[in-house]
Amino acid sequence: MEDKELVQKFLNPDSRNFAYNQLVRKYQQKVYWHIRKMVIDHDDADDLTQETFIKIWKNLENFRQESQLYTWIYRIATNECLNFLSSKRRKFFLPLNDVAAELAEKIDASPTLEGDEIQKKLQKALLRLPDKQRLVFNMRYYDDLTYEQISDILGTSVGALKASYHLAAKKIEEFLTQH
Amino acid sequence: MKLDEIPKKNIYEAPADYFDKLPGVMMNRVTARQQTQEIFVFSALPWLKNALAGLALVISFIFIFLTNNSNPEINAAGSNQILASVSENEAMEYLLTSDQLDNYDLAVLPQAEQDFTHEFIQASEAEIMREVELADLDELSY
């Protein structure tokens, strides 16, 4: 079902539940993996994914179709991730590096990670990036979003996003070379 | 090492059937939210009814008060008419049987006919004046 049709069906009380169910089925994987790459832990990712879909339920009525539905959904998921990570730092008075170290430990300890050493090393390199730069890298590298789409989601200019991505790639390559 | 040399791969795994269950989980959550909202509105309904009934009562009292006091002259005239329709015997009966005279009774007393005292005070005016002059002034109180 097309996004426009989904929204129209959601706005009709009689077909709201059906449309919402279809929307969750359509976007659950994109939302979950977007969040999971940011917070690493499955339980945290599950909580944030559910919160994202609850917010979609609460706010879809007010969604003005000036932007694409999936960029709007990505924006909600992105905000959930950023708020989660910053509240984690505030809660435990942790600087950026300590949160990265904690998440890196989760990568080492998780039995469900199926990657080889170089893949784990890439994830640890990513954790050294600031949150927003990591988001930009993930959306461009893993999700294959265009800079224009990422610009819609983050509200950052395309030029700034290109610079951010290339800087991130450079930092990652340096880390991989050194470790 | 260059990024291009590393195969692009998602190394994280979700639990098996996670994506089969998630739509159901979300539907349960939003349905529960809807029911909670409906229960809140439904449970607030009796309270709302009582509040509206109370409000209607207060508005009625205010309306009655304002309409009854909108023209004091008409009200005073109405009171005089009512008082005039009460016979002297009935008025005496009321005054003798009521335990206390309140301010209202005292206020309307001058409006009544002045000569009714002759009927229940069995004394002449001269006798009354003599009694008044002999009365001890210290016993008078305000």
pLDDT tens digits, A15-56? 999 999 999 999 999 999 999 999 999 999 999 999 999 999
CB-nearest partner of B15 from A24, A42, A173: A42
CATH number at residue A65: 1.10.1740.10
Do A7 and A76 share a domain, yes or no?
yes
The residue among A93, A117, A140 that closes a domain is A93
Do A65 and A17 share a domain, yes or no?
yes
pLDDT reading at B141 higher than 50:
no
Query: What is the tally of structural domains in chain A?
Result: 2
Pick among B22, B25, B34 to test the A interface (most A CBs inside 10 A): B22
Do A125 and A89 share a domain, yes or no?
no
Report the distance separating Cα B88 and Cα B116, nearest Å.
8
Report the distance separating Cα B35 and Cα B30, nearest Å.
9
Q: Which long-range contacts (CB under 8 A, 24 or more apart) does B118-126 make?
A: B119/B88, B120/B92
Higher pLDDT, B78 or B62: B62
**Residues 6 or more apart whose Cβ sits within 8 Å of residue A111:** none
- Please give the pLDDT value at position A49: 98
State the residue range of the domain holding A58: 1-93
Of A62-76, A154-168, B112-126, the one with minimum mean pLDDT is: B112-126
CATH number at residue A156: 1.10.10.10
- Please give the pLDDT value at position B30: 92
Q: How many CB atoms lie within 10 A of CB B48?
A: 11
pLDDT band (50, 70, 90) for residue B142? very low
CB-nearest partner of A114 from B11, B18, B27: B11
A16-39 helix and A42-59 helix, angle to the nearest 10 degrees: 140
pLDDT tens digits, A99-121? 777 777 777 776 656 657 888 88
Do A3 and A89 share a domain, yes or no?
yes
- Please give the pLDDT value at position A60: 94
pLDDT tens digits, B35-60? 776 665 656 666 777 788 888 888 88
Report the distance separating Cα A127 and Cα A86, nearest Å.
14
Mean pLDDT across chain B, nearest whole number? 75
| Alpha helices, H only, A40-157 | 42-59, 69-92, 96-109, 117-127, 131-137, 147-154
- Please give the pLDDT value at position B38: 63
The helix (run of H) or strand (run of E) holding residue B39 is helix B18-68
- Please give the pLDDT value at position B56: 86
The residue among A64, A93, A122 that closes a domain is A93
Residue type for position B86? V
The residue among A74, A93, A112 that closes a domain is A93
Q: Is B29 on the interface with A (CB under 8 A)?
A: yes
pLDDT reading at B88 higher than 70:
yes
The closest alpha carbon to A156, from A130, A128, A136, belongs to A136
Report the distance separating Cα B4 and Cα A173, nearest Å.
10
Q: Compute φ and ψ for A116, nearest 5 degrees.
A: -85, -175
- Please give the pLDDT value at position B66: 77
Round to the nearest angstrom and report the end-to-end CA distance of chain B: 113
pLDDT band (50, 70, 90) for residue A178? confident
* Chain B, nearest residue to A17 by Cα: B27
- The answer to whether the beta carbons of residues A125 and A113 sit under 8 Å apart is no
